[in-house]
Amino acid sequence: MAAAAAPRRDVQGPREESPLERKVYMDYNATTPLEPEVIQAITEAMWEAWGNPSSSYPAGRKAKEIINAARESLAKMIGGNPPDIIFTSGGTESNNLVIQSMVRHFRESQMAKEDGVEALGNGAKPHFVTCTVEHDSIRLPLEHLKEDGVAAVTFVPVSKVSGQAEVDDVLAAVQPTTCLVTIMLANNETGVIMHVPEISQRIKALNSRRVALGLPRILVHTDAAQALGKRRVDVEDLGVDFLTIVGHKFYGPRIGALYVRGLGELTPLHPMLFGGGQERDFRPGTENTPMIAGLGKAAELVSKNCEAYEAHMREVRDYLEARLQAEFGQKRIHLNSQFPGTERLPNTCNVSIQGPQLQGHLVLAQCRTLLASVGAACHLDLGDRPSPVLLSSGVPFDVARNALRLSVGRSTTKAEVDLVVEDLKQAVARLEGSA
């Protein structure tokens, strides 16, 4: 299976590396390297499609063609329609665009007395439902809206048994003023897959009753950043109205996109920016053609190879977990991302090596081969404080404090797993004073 080589951060030189001098990257949930085909697509666009996509001369027309082809590739990857894809700067913008758009849509509907919102009364605020383990680009915008008195928000706790936001709990949080339910498709730290299809089905059934009662329709959004490229993602199966796409999570460039079902017709979207009218006025600004070309190529590779990627990552991840248990003993290894009966991403192993001196950040500091993290990249300022995601998921404090998030990629090998396990063994020995 063709795949991008894992990033190498060691110094190249004439001498041969010893096994423990080699660096093994296991932080693919944080970011991924560009596939060679993606680099080629970006480079070709820089040379051949440097023109403004809104211009009529050849270089401009070429840029527009590349953008349209990329839009088609993204739509194919998620089972959607090309006109429903909007290019953005990344996942943070896509998530914020959905949230801010729903605030504006609620206000405008309230003012126009459309969709029966007069039943809510004057001064009603839009209400959002999400869960406690969302990415900061969902959590923080909603917290700010709540603090500013603009919106009401319910953060549904995830189950300490399944690690998931349970469907009944999400539905129980719905209020008359609820306008959006946003639940991530897969968690970035545990890899847990959420019940998005079931939530969408239940919300759809609820909406038919809400319309009869004169209440606004609830839309459903999922941040699919971690799932894309690791498992099949289909917007028809999910039943969502919005879906966030993040290129650098599936070996593409650091831009993103937003899927909006029936953009501007079935599903409202209001721009946060105003300018030259690009992206049909929903996201103006001269398009970044080379990066869009790379994003399209990355999506094309996922469409062609997703099953192979998934199978390879699962095999290597399962081998990693088995080797850790064999080396350290099952009583000492706590697999924080394993919840009975819960599906998870094929590449994610959140693990704690139990011991009073083995906090995750201390273990990583002692590693000479492993390149990984203790959790989400946006939470690296936590120090030795445990991950809020793990604590919310029922992982005990002392166990969560020792957590390592190991995420394998398309090119990770079992031989590299062996190097990492040996590296961890020596790091633990040094910390415990027995090296």
Measured over the CA atoms of residue 409, residue 411, residue 412 and residue 413, the dihedral's sign is positive
* Catalytic residue list contains 131: no
Distance between first and last Cα of the chain: 39
Report the DSSP pairing between strands 219-223 and 348-353.
unpaired
Q: How far apart are CA 213 and CA 120, in angstroms?
A: 11
Q: 245: part of which helix (H) or strand (E)?
A: strand 242-246
DSSP helix/strand/coil, 24: strand
Cα separation, 338 vs 351, whole angstroms: 9
Asked whether the beta carbons of 406 and 361 are under 8 A apart, the reply is no
Nearest alpha carbon to residue 136 among 334, 376, 319, 364: 376
Gyration radius of the chain over CA positions: 23
265 CB contacts (<8 Å, ≥6 apart)?
Answer: none
Tokens of 89: 């700067």
- CA dist 176 and 109 (Å) reads 14
| DSSP letter, residue 382 | G
Q: How far is CA 57 from the centre of its chain?
A: 38
**Which one from 179, 306, 349, 378 is the annotated catalytic residue?**
378
**Residues assigned a catalytic role:** 378
